[in-house]
């Protein structure tokens, strides 16, 4: 993805591309396009889990693949305006006689959905191999010559080119809002027409689409997996959070919500819960940087042009005392008298007046600065929808310890090796 913002140097080209794609992070797009798609995908997940629970006679089942399907189906609808049909396939595998409720009618079924999903899975696996290899350069060379990598890359390129060309035609015919749902691709192309007079950026858009689809579902599904683990293992937190949701939405008892209810509600304890999940699980384990001038990091001289890996979580982040090698630098510290840093406790993010404190202590789940995670807002919105809707539809009892270990698989994304649920 050389032309995706993830791979670019910090220069005018990156700023221009971020400005172009900023439309998908706008409040209007999030509320009018993203939120309804999240609500629809998660509603289908709830249907699927009710069927799974009945089939399994309320025994625990693995949730990892269902979370990935939900996140990818939602991000596919948001970015391309297509129904990838993944949850329907999961339902057919769970019970061939059952079918999910159809989508709202404005999403087209993606004829090449299975091919696109399969090809992206191959490319993501290759990306993880490169990231975790001892020699990045050698791994890139070897993988670049593998036939299945080349086939997957060609398939994704062809599908994206087809969707980009179709979106161009819809815009040119001024028919984009009537016959096809609003989606990120179409909004970006419209913005490109206004800002850059239709300057050809097909390669950049293709790369950015891939980045958006991959990281838009991988990071979110991993974070949701960790969230469900902490909900099942911390029953008091689950009970308090469910009560906070019922109170915030003015419900007499748990039940399904409308899209507008979730987007307009202010639930400080939900924000605190999400912040604590991201602090202790850090699904994005590292951020990549390169020094542009000579500098010092913790008292060590670092020359210009040095690659720097910023570790966003790990054992050192849970230490209550550590040496500060910086000279005279003041930084935010957690109040360790409140609770040990290794303890999962959303209350550490709450002020005494019951409001959420986003800067209660050091935590960088989305990195920061000009190269901070571009999808931060859309990720937090989906996690907000997922936790709210699942907790008001199910109770998640604690599982036996063998199904609730906290091992992880680390690559581009850090996800739990075990994620089991028993929705009741």
CATH of the domain at 361: 1.10.630.10
Strand stretches in 64-175, DSSP E: 82-83, 108-109
Residue 173 placed within a domain? yes
Task: Please say whether the beta carbons of 242 and 35 come within 8 A.
Answer: no
Mean pLDDT for 216-229 is 92
Residue 200: the pLDDT is 58
Residue-averaged pLDDT of the chain: 85
Percentage above 70 pLDDT, the chain: 87
Residue 17 placed within a domain? yes
Q: Which tokens is 147 given?
A: 């036939």
Residue 43 placed within a domain? yes
C-alpha closest to that of 231 among 365, 73, 367, 398: 398
* Top-confidence residue, 328 or 11: 11
Mean pLDDT for 180-200 is 76
Range of 281's domain? 12-421
C-alpha closest to that of 62 among 88, 86, 94: 94
Q: Which tokens is 257 given?
A: 């919500």
Residue 392: the pLDDT is 93
- Rounded Cα distance between 73 and 62, Å, is 19
Parallel, antiparallel, or unpaired: how do β-strands 82-83 and 61-62 relate?
A: unpaired
> The pTM is what?
0.88
pLDDT at 317 over 80: no
Mean pLDDT for 316-328 is 56
Is 373 a known ligand-binding residue? Answer: yes
Residue 176: the pLDDT is 46
Confidence of residue 101 (pLDDT cuts 50, 70, 90): low
Residue 155 placed within a domain? yes
Residue 388: the pLDDT is 95
Longest dimension (CA), the chain: 67
Residue 63 placed within a domain? yes
Q: Within 13 Å of residue 243, how many CA atoms lie on the same side as its CB?
A: 6
Least confident of 9-23, 162-176, 282-296: 162-176
Residue 85 placed within a domain? yes
Q: How many domains does the chain have?
A: 1
Residue 3 placed within a domain? no
Residue 339: the pLDDT is 77
Residue 6 placed within a domain? no
């Amino acid at each position: 993805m050389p032309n995706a913002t993830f791979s670019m140097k910090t220069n005018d080209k990156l700023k221009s591309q971020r400005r172009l794609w900023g439309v998908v992070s706008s409040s209007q797009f999030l509320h009018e396009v993203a939120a309804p798609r999240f609500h629809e995908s998660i509603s289908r997940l709830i249907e699927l889990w009710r069927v799974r629970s009945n089939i399994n006679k309320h025994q625990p089942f693995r949730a990892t693949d269902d979370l990935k399907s939900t996140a990818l189906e939602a991000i596919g609808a948001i970015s391309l305006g297509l129904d990838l049909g993944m949850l329907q396939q999961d339902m057919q595998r769970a019970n061939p006689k059952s079918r999910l409720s159809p989508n709202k009618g404005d999403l087209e079924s993606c004829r090449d959905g299975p091919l696109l999903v399969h090809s992206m899975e191959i490319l993501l696996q290759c990306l993880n191999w490169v990231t975790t290899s001892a020699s990045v350069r050698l791994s890139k060379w070897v993988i670049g010559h593998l036939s299945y990598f080349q086939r997957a890359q060609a398939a994704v390129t062809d599908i994206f080119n087809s969707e980009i060309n179709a979106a161009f035609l819809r815009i040119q015919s001024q028919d984009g809002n009537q016959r096809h749902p609003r989606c990120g691709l179409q909004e970006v192309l419209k913005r490109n027409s206004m800002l850059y007079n239709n300057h050809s950026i097909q390669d950049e858009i293709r790369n950015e689409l891939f980045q958006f689809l991959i990281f838009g579902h991988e990071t979110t599904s991993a974070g949701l997996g960790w969230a469900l683990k902490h909900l099942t293992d911390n029953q008091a937190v689950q009970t308090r959070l469910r009560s906070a949701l019922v109170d915030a939405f003015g419900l007499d008892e748990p039940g399904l919500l409308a899209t507008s209810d979730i987007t307009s509600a202010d639930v400080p304890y939900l924000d605190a819960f999400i912040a604590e999940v991201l602090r202790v699980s850090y699904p994005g384990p590292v951020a990549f940087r390169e020094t542009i001038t000579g500098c010092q990091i913790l008292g060590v001289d670092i020359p210009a042009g040095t690659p720097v890996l910023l570790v966003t979580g790990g054992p050192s982040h849970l230490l209550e005392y550590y040496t500060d090698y910086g000279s005279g630098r003041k930084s935010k510290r957690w109040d360790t008298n409140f609770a040990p840093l290794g303890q999962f406790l959303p209350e550490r993010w709450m002020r005494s007046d019951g409001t959420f404190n986003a800067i209660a202590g050091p935590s960088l789940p989305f990195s920061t600065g000009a190269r901070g995670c571009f999808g931060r807002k859309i990720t937090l919105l989906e996690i907000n929808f997922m936790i709210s809707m699942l907790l008001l539809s199910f109770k998640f009892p604690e599982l036996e310890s063998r199904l609730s270990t906290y091992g992880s698989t680390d690559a581009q994304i850090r996800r739990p090796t075990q994620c089991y649920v028993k929705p009741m």
